[in-house]
Homo-oligomer: A and B are copies of this chain.
Amino acid sequence: MSQVLVLNKNEIDSLLTLPEAIESVEAAYLAKENETGKLFPVISHEFSSGSGEVDIKSGHLRTNRVYGLKVVSWFSENQDFSLPPTFATSLIFDDRTGEPLALLNASGLTSMRTGAAGAVSMKYLAREESSTLLMVGMGQLAPYLVAAALYVMPRLDEVILYNPHGIEKAQQREPEFLLRLHQLLASLDDRNYNISITDELAEAVSRSDIIVTATPSRVPLIQAGWLKPGTHICAIGSDMRNKQELDSFILSQATIYVDDKVQATLIGEAEIPLRHGLINQESLKEISKLVITKQSGRQSEEETTVFDATGIALQDLSIAKRIYDLAVRANIGTAIEL
């Protein structure tokens, strides 16, 4: 028998700060690039009911002496049972002995690593003087993405929120969004920024330096003609076949970075433009190349840059192991003989 540490959502929320998550995601990209990190094939299964899906992302992060997996399940009809649509669970193991280390509720962890990944892309792709950020989508991920952006982009002072479900829905969600945002920005309390809600997507796009999309959309929301020169876009929502948030012409004219070429091709924002021949495989570069060289991926102040994030197992492993180490040190969680 060995001992496994069970860490629930509240415990994890209390342990990890966003700046640490950003560090962990950068470390994961570094490991991917120097090959101390290895992604195993992603498993995806759609349940025959058509209203459920499960993804299993797994890998080995040698630098952190850990391997493991995350299971993310999505059931659209869960609201009928008063349950959240998504459950995420991680299981990590010691790569020296194979002992299970921890079982983690991976919901907050996934939001943290996704926000952090968006921020890492801004650090290497957005213009340094970016001051206006448009957040498209006001779901679970939105406060994490905005908070992470505020951590890495020092001149950001204007945040515009847009909800594709309409301005009323946006107003309804705003208090929850702000509450979480302020919690996440705890260590950045001297920062001044203005937050507003808009109903005018095209107008908001045309005056934003950074646009983050995190919706489950299957039709393009952002049109190429609306963009001002030099915008950086984080396309977060597309993580399944047939999802799309950006007009394909945006990608055909942009510098595109992805977190993993294989995944981006199969399930990312790049999937549809690739299928239609509007871009090709050579258009996709991996963000890990910028992280390892610490160089900006932007060639000019005018070009559009796109980060197509699908989320990779190394991010989850890097953050999960950090949480585990923090929990052991702080004596948090429930240790159980397995």
Residue of B nearest to A62 (CB): B48
Range class of the A interface residue count: 35 or more
Residues of B within 8 A of A47 (CB): 60, 95
Residue of B nearest to A81 (CB): B97
Q: Does A6 contact B (CB under 8 A)?
A: yes
Q: Compute how far the CA of A96 lies from the CA of B83 in the bound complex, rounded to whole angstroms.
A: 11
Residues of B within 8 A of A74 (CB): 98
Q: Is the CB of A336 within 8 A of B8?
A: yes
Q: Does A21 contact B (CB under 8 A)?
A: no
Contact with B along A26-63 (1 / 0, CB 8 A): 00000000000010110101011000101010101010
Give A68 Cβ to nearest chain B Cβ, in Å. 8
- Copies, count: 2
Q: Which of B83, B98, B338 contacts A54, CB < 8 Å?
A: B98
Q: Does A87 contact B (CB under 8 A)?
A: yes
Q: Is the CB of B91 within 8 A of A89?
A: yes
Q: Does A116 contact B (CB under 8 A)?
A: no
Q: Among the interface residues A4, A75, A89, A336, which one has the most CB atoms of the partner chain B within 10 A? A: A89
Tell me the dominant secondary structure on chain A's binding face.
strand
Give A273 Cβ to nearest chain B Cβ, in Å. 27
Q: Does A337 contact B (CB under 8 A)?
A: yes
Can you list 22 A-B pairs, Cβ within 8 angstroms, ordered by A? A1-B105, A2-B83, A4-B103, A6-B6, A6-B336, A40-B43, A40-B45, A43-B43, A45-B67, A52-B95, A56-B69, A71-B91, A73-B93, A74-B98, A75-B98, A78-B97, A78-B98, A87-B93, A87-B100, A89-B91, A89-B93, A105-B338
Extra A-B contacts (20), CB below 8 Å, given A6-B103, A41-B43: A1-B105, A2-B87, A6-B6, A8-B338, A38-B45, A40-B43, A40-B45, A40-B56, A52-B95, A69-B69, A69-B71, A71-B91, A73-B93, A75-B96, A78-B97, A86-B98, A87-B97, A89-B91, A103-B338, A336-B336
5 tightest A-B contacts by CB? A73-B98, A87-B98, A105-B338, A75-B98, A40-B43
